[in-house]
Amino acid sequence: MKKLTTVFSFNLGQNSDFFRVAQTSIAQKFFLFLCLITGTFSVLGQSITGKITDAETVKPLNSANIILVGTARGTQSNSQGDFTLKNLAKGKYTLKITYVGYENFTQVVDLQKDERINVILKKSIFVADEVVVNATRANEKSGVAYTNVLKEDIQKQNLGQDIPQLLNFTPSLVTTSDAGAGIGYTGLRIRGTDATRINVTINGIPYNESESQGTYWVNMPDFASSVSSIQIQRGVGTSTNGAGAFGASVNVSTNEFHKDAYGQINASVGSFKTLKTTFMAGTGLIADKFTFDARLSRITSDGYIDRSASNLKSFYLSGAYFGKKSFIRLNVFSGAEKTYQAWEGVPEALLATNRTFNLYTYPNQTDNYQQDHYQLLSSHTLSNELTLNVNFHYTYGRGYYEQLREEDKYSKYGLPNVTVGTVVQKKTDFIRRKWLDNDFYGTTFSLDYKGSGRLSGNVGGGQNTYDGRHFGEIIWAKNPSTSTLGYRWYENKALKTDFNIYAKANYQFSDNINGFVDLQYRGIGYDMKGIADKRQDITQNNSYNFFNPKFGITTKLSETSRAFASYSVGNKEPSRQDFENNIQKAPQAETLRDLEIGYQSQSKGFAFALNGYYMDYKNQLVLTGKLNDVGEAIRINVPKSYRMGIELEAGVQATKSLKINANATFSENKILNFVEEVPNYDGGANVENKFTKTDIAFSPNVIFGSQILYSPVKNLEIGLLSKYVGKQYLDNTTNAKRQLNAYFTNDLRLNYFVETKTFKKIGFNFLVNNIFNSLYESNGYTYSYISDGQTITENFYYPQAGTNFLLGVNLTF
């Protein structure tokens, strides 16, 4: 692991002697600051105690959440429904108590002496939306590292950039954008793991594309406007539906109950001709049983990179029925995107002179795709202890990307050469389209048990089917061969089934010790038939059966601190690209054993968390740094590899108007033995270079994020948002000539709102990204080959925008 002094070696776009001199003292001061705060809590005298019971059964409610709003203090009720908040200063507090499936309780407490508050919570079908996603979410007793991102945090900077950019300041997360401005094709990595191993669900329903296992946020433009909350779990996490979580999971919830009618107009403008318009409306509760909500959005942007424009459209419709004991919601949402391709990146030689270079100049070098989603969600109260959730879903996706291919060989398309006079032409210019047409459908379910005693848990799972059609068409050729317009040079089909079932249980051994167990079986069938784009036969049938156990224990050390430990096993099948790119040697399934140990503490004005992890992989599919001919990452299995690190989080309410949040990750990510294969274009054998204990590609050893939030006057918040990402390697050789340099960015955000007679709320949002104009690259790729007896390495990068802005106005009525 790197020395601590490397943490704050910030890169402001130039070689600064100041930072090289100051880096040690800054790092030392930062950690001294944390140590001092955690070690100097005042001993205060007052306390709030109480008991939480069910209004109907009068039984105690175990694990209800109790927080003091605006402070870092909170706790949970024990198996008898009792709770205690000790060592509180005198003054007024807002006590908020929440319990899944029950109405929230809020009370202002003027604490001058010890207070006892007995709380009776009522069940409510109107909060059933949160019950639907509860089965796949973690809580304080799950023994895993997680972060909850609330709607109000998302909306502070929801000005058109995609969801990965809005999550940028959460722990261990790194974002990237092909177009360089956070609109269009964007992605994220968590703990160094790429999108194909980050499980994403929307209302508990799988969203990852079944074959690539990636998440294409561009297919859901402005989806953030419909999000009510997001939970990010790091590591294997708890059992979920869909693609295996092999580094993290992102659980998105869109469902939200609005009792009153509302309307909202959001508009934002910004650099690179960015424009976002959003219209939202809801009926509120009709006849005490129905609600309807709608959203219509459009985002356009030219992008930072040349010819990287995006034209994105989407809508969201939701209707819900609230019965006495049952809840049904139908969600229909769709996204259509047209983006100019910026997949090739910028050659290293041009970074200094033309950072916005785009190789493609053909006017219609675009990606075009539309995805329509249908979700039928339901929750049924069977008894005071049992709730049944049954959901159905269907997604239809279709689209293509168009490319001009200059001087391509006829043979690549299965076509004969063309003879012009006496000259045999083996190559010509083609315009081609690669199509994907697919259906994804299935069901997810859970039966939740929440008794008044020490035991709670659920049984759940899902059965999902993906039916995909792939084909490529030639729509134009400079010198046509024997083909006709629309000639298909490849065509294949894929059918993938994914079944999983899990059982989770929490058991409260004592008031201070809780145990967690989570057992999952997952079975996958994958059948491919036909010819792929390189005209290779990919016909094959693969099946996998995985058992994924997880165990955890949480102990309450005091009224203000707790610790946890967990051990989890995850297994994951290869993706379609892995099969296509490794046709001669079939890729193997991966196994991950994940050990997590954490500690959390809190006081009135300070919260601190420390999490350590060791992720041990067998046959991990790692990025080689290379891309195939359509910009998809090529991966290979490595027998042994690991990721280990520590994650720190701290929050300080320094004054009534000043809050500071910070997180840092220090990690080591290694492959024990790696073999690099270098193609030999001179006709000889490929060269193999063997390496021992090298860094895993795209895995920075240091990630740091912070938010300094200041409210000088009512309804105004000024935020300085900072992000540091350490150097990353483009491949697995730990070669300094194939790396992404460390970068440090700072954003300035202003949020202000007023209430008027005409509008419930008028909000103004102003965001300046990268205020110090740092020149940095967040992604890239590399490849090496032998030609004329020499080994040549070529690096390509994805530069991110310098200083740029977004300005938004929100009208709520």
Residue 386 has pLDDT above 70, yes or no: yes
Q: Dihedral sign, CA of 621, 623, 626, 632? A: positive
The span from the CA of 364 to the CA of 783, in Å, is: 27
Lowest mean pLDDT of 514-518, 600-604, 657-661, name the range. Answer: 600-604
Residue 3 has pLDDT above 80, yes or no: no
The span from the CA of 460 to the CA of 505, in Å, is: 12
Q: Note the Cα 245 to chain centre separation in Å.
A: 11
- Cβ neighbors of 33 (< 8 A, separation 6 or more) are none
Paired residues of 611 in beta bridges: 598, 647
Residue 579 has pLDDT above 90, yes or no: no
Q: How is residue 21 annotated by DSSP?
A: H
Give the pLDDT confidence score for residue 630 in this predicted structure.
56
The span from the CA of 635 to the CA of 212, in Å, is: 12
Amino acid at 762: I
Q: How many helices (H) and strands (E) does the chain have?
A: 5, 44
Give the pLDDT confidence score for residue 628 in this predicted structure.
61
Q: Note the Cα 799 to chain centre separation in Å.
A: 21
Three-state secondary-structure class, residue 745: strand
Q: Pairing state of beta strands 247-253 and 198-202?
A: parallel
pLDDT tens-place string over residues 71-105 = 778 888 888 889 999 888 888 899 999 988 888 89
Q: Dihedral sign, CA of 732, 180, 167, 216? A: negative
Residue 211 has pLDDT above 70, yes or no: yes
Q: Which two tokens stand for residue 130?
A: 């949160």
Average pLDDT over residues 366-379: 97
Q: Pairing state of beta strands 82-88 and 229-235?
A: unpaired
CB 670 within 8 A of CB 136: no
Residue 659 has pLDDT above 90, yes or no: yes
pLDDT tens-place string over residues 514-527 = 999 999 999 999 99
Average pLDDT over residues 705-723: 97
Strands (E), 532-589: 540-558, 561-572
Percent with pLDDT over 90 in the chain: 75
Give the pLDDT confidence score for residue 10 in this predicted structure.
32
Q: Measure the CA dihedral 180/181/187/193, to 10°.
A: 60
Residue 356 has pLDDT above 80, yes or no: yes
Average pLDDT over residues 322-338: 96
The span from the CA of 342 to the CA of 354, in Å, is: 14
Give the pLDDT confidence score for residue 70 in this predicted structure.
76
Give the pLDDT confidence score for residue 37 in this predicted structure.
41
Q: How confident is the model at residue 26 (pLDDT cuts 50, 70, 90)?
A: very low
Give the pLDDT confidence score for residue 130 in this predicted structure.
86
Residue 424 has pLDDT above 50, yes or no: yes
Average pLDDT over residues 180-197: 94
CB 562 within 8 A of CB 556: yes
Question: Distance between terminal CA atoms of the chain?
Answer: 54
Q: How confident is the model at residue 29 (pLDDT cuts 50, 70, 90)?
A: very low
Phi, psi of 288 (to 5 degrees): 60, 15
Average pLDDT over residues 785-809: 96
The span from the CA of 812 to the CA of 267, in Å, is: 12
The span from the CA of 302 to the CA of 775, in Å, is: 19
Residue 744 has pLDDT above 60, yes or no: yes
Give the pLDDT confidence score for residue 322 in this predicted structure.
95
Q: Pairing state of beta strands 46-54 and 115-121?
A: parallel
Three-state secondary-structure class, residue 17: helix
Q: How confident is the model at residue 38 (pLDDT cuts 50, 70, 90)?
A: very low
Average pLDDT over residues 440-462: 93
Average pLDDT over residues 660-684: 93
Residues across the chain:
813
The span from the CA of 747 to the CA of 801, in Å, is: 12
More confident residue, 245 or 730: 730
Give the residue among 801, 802, 800, 798 at the shortest CA–CA distance from 346.
798
Residue 537 has pLDDT above 80, yes or no: yes
Give the pLDDT confidence score for residue 457 in this predicted structure.
94
Give the pLDDT confidence score for residue 15 in this predicted structure.
37
Q: What is the pTM of this model?
A: 0.90
Give the pLDDT confidence score for residue 140 in this predicted structure.
87
Average pLDDT over residues 279-298: 97
Mean pLDDT of the chain: 90
DSSP secondary structure, 29-97, as one string = HHHHHHHHHHH------EEEEEEEEETTT--B-TT-EEEETTSS-EEE--TTSEEEEEEE-SEEEEEEE
More confident residue, 534 or 280: 280
Lowest mean pLDDT of 11-15, 108-112, 301-305, name the range. Answer: 11-15
